Each structure stands twice: as C-alpha cells, then as structure tokens.
Amino acid sequence: MSSCPDYIIEFMHEYLDEEIPEEHKQELKEHLQICADCKQHFNELVKTVALVQSTSHIQTPENFTEKVMMHLPREKKKVGIKRWFGRHPILTAAAVFIIFMTASVFASWNQDDNFSVTKNKNIIIENNTTAVVPEGKTVEGDIVVKNGDIRIEGKVDGNVTIINGNNYLASAGTVTGEIEEINKVFDWLWHKIKDISSEVLQLFNSDKDAK
C-alpha cells in the first residue's frame, strides 16, 4: 500500500462522504481490485463506520422534560416589560412623547433665568432686576417681566404678567388690564396654555370677523 498514491485514500473518504465523482469512483474501484492492502484499508473504514452507527440508542433519562421545565428561569420583569413594549408600539410611542414633552417643558422653565422685560421706551430698568414704569409715563400694550420685579408708578394700558417676580403697584400707578403673577411651573404652564388658547380664539374670532 505504501506504493499506492495518497489520493486513493482520499477517494475512499469521498466515497464514504457520498460525494465521490464518477471518475474517482471508477478509479477507486479498479484500484481496489488489484491492491489487496488498499482493499483491506477500505473494508476497515467501512466496518468502522458501520460499528459507530451500530451503537444502540441510549434512552433519555426519565422525567427529562419535567426537569428542564422546572429549571427554566422565571420570566424576568424586564423581559415582560420589553415584550409589552414590543407589542404596544403606539402606547410606547405615546409614553416616549410624553417623557420628551415633560422634559422640554421643565427645560424651558429652567433655561431662561435671566431677567427680561418687554421692550418699551417708557420702561426703565433698575439694578438689572427691576423694571420701572415711571410716574407720568404711559406704556401702551402688555408687559411681560421674567425673573425680576416691576414697579408701576405711571400707567399701563394693557395686561401685566410677572413670571418669577413681584409687582409693586404704586398708589399713583394704574393698570387697565389684568395683573398676573406666575411663580410655579404649573402656573406657568397654565399661563402658556391660556396664552395659546386665547391666541387660537383670537384667530378664530378674526376669522369670523373677516367673514
């Protein structure tokens, strides 16, 4: 056999893998007829395969399935929640939306803690924290003061809104509209909503007027 080419053994394995091309098969067949050593090698391989395949089926232990089921981990809450999200995409989207909305509301509440006031030539700023409407002057239109106080000694022809601050209305001062003080997030939110809805209403009314 030592004189036989190596590929004869290769052909044997191709045969056992059931992947032997026809011409290899022919060559192997012819070789096995003339070479006793190779024939023996081949027979031993065939026998080996048969022996391995002959091993009897081993019985699976009793209660195997029950034991597996007993050992399955309890469903984790996390998995449950994940699955719930997976199955309720719209609710998930709504929840995410609400989270972002809340976050942005708080962010915009906290964001601008600088003093600001509606621009008007008749408003004077004191100490960078107080807006003053001096005596004898008249501000036409609404005033919004953020993160600061307002002292009104003159006249305001409109509404006054103070966010995060106080208003001091001098006895001589007058405001023709409403005075509103907002110091809490929810007040502020409410104010925003009122603002938006009154704008919408106005739009609606002007629409009607146009008709």
Closest CB to another protein among 68 and 107? 68
Q: Which of 52, 90, 107, 210 binds another protein (CB under 8 A)?
A: 52
Closest CB to another protein among 57 and 121? 57
Task: Say whether residue 25 binds another protein (CB under 8 A).
Answer: no
167-182 burial: b if 16+ Cβ within 10 Å, else e: bebeeebebeeeeeeb
Task: Say whether residue 2 binds another protein (CB under 8 A).
Answer: no
What are the two backbone dihedrals, phi and then psi, of residue 113, each rounded to the nearest 5 degrees?
Answer: -100, 20
What is the bridge-based pairing of β-strands 116-117 and 143-146?
Answer: antiparallel
- Near another protein by CB under 8 A, which window of 70-78, 114-122, 140-148, 192-200? 70-78
Characterise 205 by phi-psi region: left (phi > 0), alpha (psi -120 to 50), beta (else).
alpha
Q: Of 149, 154, 183, 182, which is closest to residue 167 (Cα–Cα)?
A: 149
From residue 73 to residue 102, the character string flagging contacts with another protein as x (rule: CB under 8 A) and all else as - is x-x----x--x-------------------
Residue 126 belongs to what H/E stretch? Answer: strand 124-126
- Near another protein by CB under 8 A, which window of 71-79, 134-142, 164-172, 176-184? 71-79
From residue 28 to residue 47, the character string flagging contacts with another protein as x (rule: CB under 8 A) and all else as - is -------------x--xx-x
CA dist list (Å): 58 to 55, 63, 78, 103, 188:
9, 15, 39, 63, 76
By CB under 8 A, name the binding residues for another protein.
10, 13, 16-17, 19, 41, 44-45, 47-49, 51-61, 64-65, 67-69, 71-73, 75, 80, 83
